Amino acid sequence: MITASFCIWLVIVLGWVAMRYPAMRRARKQKTKVDNRTPLDISLLILCFLGLFVVPLLWRLDVLGYLGDRGQPLVLIVAGLVTGIAFLWLFRRSHKDLGRNWSVSLEIREDHRLVTGGVYAHVRHPMYASFFLWGLMQLLLIPNWIAGLAGLVSVSLLYIVRQAREEAMMHETFGQEYVHYCARTKRLVPGVY
């Protein structure tokens, strides 16, 4: 039986797909000036796909059996729904603010500019922050420890590996402008971290 919490998760994920698709199409048309992708980056993106999509679907298809299943009180479903809405809002806002500067991997576009307005006025990595919200939403909505935590674990690994390299690339591209931007913003949570 498909649970209400899984249906909420699925609708939010499909909402994400609907938002990401136009950005992907637009990004393919942009010329790349600097490409710092590595096989590790591609592997981590595949890991995120597995953790955020495939593992929850495998759980729903009963591939995991009952391994890691847990209870699902209403408060977790409500918290998951609220977190999912926050995720979609922050994700959409991050894409709008980045515009043509967005890339799924470590790339600098031709005519790339440093975005410091909108949500980027408060945090340097709101797109990563939105994915952490996705992982938290998944943990709250998927009543299985393995499938629930798979998203947070994969996003955390991606962030840990890529964040320093991404900031180094931005510093190399934008110099002191980026240094000043870093001095007035936090990485993921405004005023905290």
pTM of the model: 0.93
Average pLDDT over residues 26-40: 79
Average pLDDT over residues 97-125: 89
Q: Where along the chain do its domains lie?
A: 4-184
Handedness of CA 193, 108, 16, 23 (dihedral sign): positive
**Residues paired with 109 in a beta bridge:** 32
Q: Closest Cα to residue 42, out of 162, 174, 163?
A: 162
What's the pLDDT at 110?
81
Q: At what angle do helices 176-184 and 145-174 cross, to 10 degrees?
A: 140
Collapsing DSSP to helix, strand or coil, 186 comes out as: strand
pLDDT range class, residue 28, cuts 50, 70, 90: confident
Dump the DSSP string for 69-109: B----HHHHHHHHHHHHHHHHHHHHHHHHHGGG--SSSEEE
The highest-level CATH class for domain 4-184 is mainly alpha
Distances in whole angstroms, Cα of residue 143 to Cα of each of 11, 74, 151: 16, 11, 13
